[in-house]
Structure 1
Amino acid sequence: MNAENNFNFKNSDHHFITPVSDDLKKAFTDLQAYVKGNPSKRIQVIGHYTANEKNNSAYPNLGLARANAVKNHMMSLGVPSKIIDTYGTLKNDLVPNADNVYFGPIDYTVKTIVAGDTSEADELKALRDKIITNPLVLNFKTGQTVINLTTEQRQKIADISKYLDKVNGATCLIVGHTDNVGDASENMGYGQKRADFAKKYLIDNEISTSRITAISKGQTEPIADNATEEGKAKNRRTVVTLKETN
């Protein structure tokens, strides 16, 4: 991709600065035509960030968030998401200008998939098994419907997002659960709010709401004894995983 300009980002921001330059628009138009004529090609978008930036995105690091912002722009121009891979890399030698803007903290590479290479399919199968075996579980305090996700939990969101992005027809299932404190019908509502909170994180990762099912089981499916505080804490959970297909 040939362009004199690149995407620019303000310090600690994962939304690129608009408007995008005309030569960058043309470069992506040319890229769309190139990948259409070369189906064996894959595009790798690498976003960079520095250690002193604050990550306010839904992603585990700001570089990955920036790469995904560029990926979404590419998708809006007709480049299929299935052929775009995104990465985030720490790069502390980046220096912002006087207006606190980083110029072009994005790199691109093009990878060729050799005929008969099953590494992509194998990677997706391994990712699916990883998500189902070790799903994202969010634990809430009594009455709580919003929490701050850890970097590890955000990585699980990113993994689910990646799988849904690459596999046509794949969907995500989010189930909110509660302990048995209070009214059962109110707990059903708490469970739904917790599921909807997780759903918003997926939507922030640009996953279509049509591919997400968010439901509540309230207090009906405990996994621990509600007679103890420890058991109640385990029951106040939201489980995010892939929806099984027959």
Structure 2
Amino acid sequence: MSKKTGYLLGILLTIILGTILYWFFCCNCDTGTADADANSKANTIETKSEVPAKLDTTMNAFAISDANGNLSFDINDNINFKTSDYHYIEPLSVEVDNGLTKLVDYLGANPDKSIDITGHFRSDETNTSAFPNLGLARANTVKNYLISKGLSSKNINTFGRLDDNFIADSNAILHGPLGYSINTMTEGDSSETDALKALGEAIKADPLVLYFNTAEASINLTTAQRQKVADMVRYTDKVDGALLSVTGYTDSSGSRTTNVRLGQERADFAKSYLVENGIAANKINTASKGPDSPIASNATEEGKAKNRRVVVTIN
């Protein structure tokens, strides 16, 4: 082999060896970097936490407009409630109180008009009222405030509405969970009168009956019983002279004097419960019949339990 050929072979071997070494170190380095990047991205995905979108508090203004009259106002405030409560937060703002006064004056000057009050409630609230839902209970408290300002209950209709889109603030306060609308009555329309007559007959046929354990005075209404309360409130609101009649009864154990007193205590307790739930005290009469008029035999414990009761109906 000539010297020149050997020199050329040396150069060729150097090039081949350099290429191999370059591929070995640099490609592995790139792969490692790519793997590291991939691992970094994977770790980023795995550790990323999903932050839920913040829900904005519902701020419902106190707004009323009569399409068939000249009442219209929009106050950037309202009657507010804590969640799971039907007592509005006091004191009311001056603006809201003035708006309610304006509403009372307007309806007083227009006896052919009435106001619908719809209270909103959420499905995750706890209803401790005597009404079927917190919305109706809230509307009822506003109704009572309007009555205290001089408006007749005949001119007020109350409703409840499920509204899970009504969002409380961070302090669990619902800002204005109420809606208002003005109605103009049609002259000669007897549909409401007919409906109230049918409602009164239904209440008398199936009154609200509350049962008590011996020497106990506590009330826990079922859904059906709450509806009966709402029906009786509506009836007494709309019918002149209508009152709730609350009568207490006992079993035959013990003396008659004691039982008559116990029956009256139960009737008074039921009245206090109804008043606490926004039913006017002057619309409720109480009485006791003690062990009289049993509806079951006092010879058995089951019969005695049925006789320990309070019956709420209308006069």
Q: TM-score, normalized by length of structure 2?
A: 0.72
Give me the CA root mean square deviation. Answer: 1.7
Task: Please list, as runs of the form range in 1=range in 2, the aligned pairs for 1:1-246 lying within 5 A after superposition.
Answer: 1=64, 2=73, 3-243=75-315
Query: Which has a greater percent of helix?
Result: 2
* 1:58–1:204 Cα contact (<8 Å) kept: no
Distance 2:130 2:96 in 1: 26
Supply the distance in 2 between the matched residues of 1:171 and 1:76 (Cα, whole angstroms): 18
Deviation at 1:99, TM superposition (A): 1.4
Instruction: Name the structure, 1 or 2, with higher relative contact order (CA <8 Å, separation 6+).
Output: 1
Shift of 1:179: 1.3
Q: Give the number of equivalent residue pairs.
A: 243
How much has 1:231 moved relative to structure 2?
1.8
- Asked whether the equivalents of residues 131 and 160 of structure 1 are also in contact (C-alpha less than 8 Å), the reply is yes
Unaligned runs of 5+ in 1: none
Q: Distance in 2 between matches of 1:32 and 1:200?
A: 28
Deviation per residue, 1:10-29 (Å, 9 max, x gap): 11121222332333223223
CA contact (8 A) 2:298 2:304 kept: yes
Cα shift readout 1:10-67 (whole Å, capped 9, x = no counterpart): 1112122233233322322322232123221111000011111122223221111111
Q: Partner amino acid for 1:215?
A: A
Q: How far apart are the structure 2 equivalents of 1:205 and 1:123?
A: 25
Q: Which moved more, 1:179-188 or 1:198-207?
A: 198-207
Q: Distance in 2 between matches of 1:43 and 1:208?
A: 19
- CA spacing shift, 1:202–1:147, aligned 2, 3 Å: closer
The two structures have a TM-score, normalised by structure 1, of 0.91
- Mapped to 1, the partners of 2:167 and 2:281 lie a distance apart of 37
**Bigger-Rg structure (1/2):** 2
Query: Which deviates more from structure 2 when the two are superposed, residues 42-51 or residues 53-62?
Result: 53-62
Letter in 2 for 1:122: D
C-alpha spacing 1:9/1:81, structure 2 compared with 1 (3 Å): same
> Aligned partners of 2:282 and 2:147: how far apart in 1?
18
CA distance, structure 1, for counterparts of residue 282 and residue 174 of structure 2? 35
Aligned sequence identity (%): 49
Secondary structure, in 3 states, of the residue corresponding to 1:53? coil
